[in-house]
Amino acid sequence: IRVMSMSNDFYLRPRSLEEALGLLADGESEILGGGTYLIGRRARRAARLIDLERLGLDYIAEDEDGIKFGAMTRLQDLVENELLRHLSLRMVFEAALATRPSWMLRNMSTVGGEIVQRSRHSALVVALLALDAEVTFATTSGVRRLSLSDFDRELAADAGPMIVTEVSIRARKENARGAF
């Protein structure tokens, strides 16, 4: 772990998911993905920020089951990725553009952050719900996978320390179409 002082807060960069969950379970901590939710926020501050940058959660991958995004994948990566230009997934590309109109904010905002922050302004979350996306997340009890709508209820129930690791969308038929 690398610790740096930041305005009387601590900034932690764990090297594993288990380490990050342990730090989060200690309390008085917040996950730092892209950090856009911190912009302009002054009232509530965590004693420690846990940066997930080193956990390898920034990817877009396709396999026979569909497409997967790591939670630390930036919205700008969704905009630039050729896989998302396919007709049935184009709405993810368009929703990422609509969610953060500024290149700078899209380059900071993460897929996981959009899901966890539950912003009513996130077009990406709406598109992922329409595509029946599933969320994989880790807790101190293990790894779970839920539909995005069920995950939202889980968050509302405050299931304790959790870290979103991946979002997946099942493969669509060749003639499937989507629009945003």
Q: What is the pTM of this model?
A: 0.84
Q: How confident is the model over 118-128, as a mean pLDDT?
A: 85
pLDDT digits (tens, 9 = 90+) for 82-93: 888 776 788 898
The mean predicted confidence, pLDDT, of the chain is 82
Q: How far apart, in whole angstroms, are the C-alpha atoms of residue 123 and residue 144?
A: 25
Of all residues in the chain, the percent with pLDDT exceeding 90 is 38
Q: How far is CA 147 from CA 14, 134, 157, 180, in A?
A: 27, 4, 15, 20
What pLDDT score was predicted for residue 133? Answer: 95
Contacts (Cβ under 8 Å, ≥6 apart) of 105: 36, 75
Beta strands in 15-174 (DSSP E): 29-32, 48-51, 60-63, 66-70, 134-139, 142-147, 162-170
Q: How far is CA 36 from CA 16, 40, 112, in A?
A: 23, 9, 12
Decide: helix, strand or coil at residue 31.
strand
Give yes or no for residue 5 having a pLDDT over 50: no
Strands 134-139 and 142-147: antiparallel
Higher per-residue pLDDT: 32 or 58: 58
Sheet hosting strand 162-170, strand order edge to edge? 60-63, 66-70, 162-170, 134-139, 142-147
